[in-house]
Amino acid sequence: MSLYGMMRTGVSGMNAQANRLSTVADNIANSSTTGYKRASTEFSTLLMPRAGGDYTSGGVNTTVRTSIAQQGDLRFTSQTTDLAVNGDGFFVVSDAAGQQKFLTRAGSFVPDSEGRLVNAAGYYLMGVVPGTGIASSLDDFTQVKISTDGMEATASTKGKLSFNLPSNAVAGDTHSTSMTTYDSYGNEVKVAVEFTKTAGVDEWTMTATPEGGAAVTQTLTFDPTTHRIADGATIEFDVPGGNLVAIDLSGSTTLAADFQVQNLSTDGNAPSAIESIEIGKDGTIYANYASGAFKAIYQIQLATVNSPDQLSVQSGNVFTQGTDSGEYRFGIPGDGAFGQIQSGALENSNVDIAEELTNMIESQRSYTANSKVFQTGSDLMDVLVNLKR
């Protein structure tokens, strides 16, 4: 056995314990950091070739692992834009320019001067436009921007109308109602709706006439057994200065009762400012307008990989795809393996201070013991050098 080898082994042990103390220091320093994931140091032996009966000391290798998949406790707040993932998944965030994209669990978002939601590390929350489906790559995400300054008008694109038409009506009988839609300027556009009984059994015609626009007529046929209109039945018409509006007629009936409208609603809104927002467990961000309109403006989708603990850790409590982490997968919160989004909550770090202090004492003792090995080897070297004196 070489005395130099013994000394190198002692140095290896001191370096290994220094690495462990470094992770302990990081964990303690970030014990109050939102969404921080605890780092730990794992040890493995390093063996040297042996010759005959001599033992050649080797050393120790260290590997730093991060407990990314382990969730921290949730801490509830009074801020709507404070977000936590209860379960698996990560928020998609970007730098200020929206070019580089990362994953994070740190959801302490607040609006900046432009209405973009940014967390304490300076990363901006990303989402998708509602109704565009599940993202297939990071390129499908856009920065979430919620501005309460100025006014906004939204043109109508869809609506819901369900009604009952009297089954004892005779050919030529008519009933009417109306609905309100909005053009792209936020102007109200009234739509007159008229139902006329035809000679056919369980058959009516429906005419929708937007104010200043062209009338659209459609035949309505009801099931002869249930007397309900077919699921998915719609009527479409153009709103002058607006969009094509599709009205869902599902749930309508022709029964032995008077004409009545059971459900009538359209989307769109007159010019108004956003007063507040709400964020659902499925990640949908809703805007409450001063006019009373309620509209989904963004969908927060989560990302994950097959092996979250193998993600590459970056500054600012964010992660990127690692060599062994697997490809990104995206989904809607609460769907399948993805966790739900909790508004008004933050995820604490998963650091256990008591455990870290214990690890610190263990490393300190081990470091001291390894230094004694080095010191003993150095003393023996002195003896060897001074043998001829």
Task: Look at 386 and 212; give whichever has higher pLDDT.
Answer: 212
Q: Give per-residue pLDDT as tens, 311-361.
A: 999 999 999 999 999 999 999 999 988 999 999 999 999 999 999 999 999
Same domain, 254 and 364: no
Q: Same domain for 263 and 277?
A: no
Range with lowest mean pLDDT among 44-48, 159-163, 366-370:
44-48
pLDDT value of residue 118: 96
Work out the burial of residue 95: count CB atoms within 10 Å of its CB; fewer than 13 is exposed, 13-18 middle, 19 or more buried.
middle
DSSP string, 138-163: GGG-EE-B---SS-EEE---EEEEEE
Query: Is the confidence at residue 154, as pLDDT, over 70?
Result: yes
Kindly state whether residues 132 and 180 are assigned to the same domain.
no
Q: What band does 47 get if pLDDT is binned at 50, 70 and 90?
A: confident
232 and 129 part of one domain: no
Average the pLDDT over 119-141 and give the result.
Answer: 93
Question: Six-digit token pair at 114?
Answer: 């432009």
**Both 139 and 166 in a single domain?**
no
Instruction: Say yes or no: 219 and 172 in one domain.
Output: yes
Whether residues 202 and 336 share a domain: the answer is no
Q: At 178, which CATH number? A: 2.60.98.20
User: How many CB atoms neighbour CB 17 within 10 A?
Assistant: 24
What is the overall mean pLDDT for the chain? 90
Q: Is the pLDDT of residue 379 over 80?
A: no
Both 157 and 268 in one domain: the answer is yes
pLDDT tens track for 275-285: 889 999 999 99
- What is the chain's length? 389
d(CA 193, CA 24): 71
What global pTM score does this model have?
A: 0.72
The model's pLDDT over 58-85, given as tens digits with 9 standing for 90+, comes to 788 889 999 999 999 999 999 999 999 9
Final residue before a domain boundary, out of 241, 272, 303: 272
pLDDT for res 389? 62
157 & 239 share domain: yes
| Residues 256, 157 share a domain | yes
- Check residue 291 and give its pLDDT: 76
> Which residue among 272, 291, 325 closes a domain?
272
Ramachandran area for residue 323 (φ above 0: left; ψ -120 to 50: alpha; else beta): alpha
| Tens-digit pLDDT profile for residues 286-320 | 988 887 778 888 999 999 999 999 999 999 999 99
Predicted pLDDT of residue 270: 86
Q: Is the pLDDT reported for residue 177 higher than 60? A: yes
**Cβ contacts of 353 within 8 Å, gap of 6 or more:** 28, 31
pLDDT one-digit tens code per residue, 238-248 = 999 889 999 99
Q: Print the domain residue range for 224.
A: 153-272
Separation of alpha carbons 285 and 151, rounded Å: 18
Asked whether residue 42 carries a pLDDT value surpassing 80, the answer given is: yes
Structural domain count, the chain? 3
Q: How confident is the model at residue 104 (pLDDT cuts 50, 70, 90)?
A: very high
Question: Quick one: 145 and 293 in the same domain?
Answer: yes
Return the C-alpha torsion angle 136, 142, 143, 144, nearest 10: -80
% residues pLDDT > 90 (the chain): 69
Say if residue 245 is in the same domain as residue 377.
no
Single out the residue in 231, 252, 272 at which a domain terminates: 272
Give the model's pLDDT for residue 49.
Answer: 67
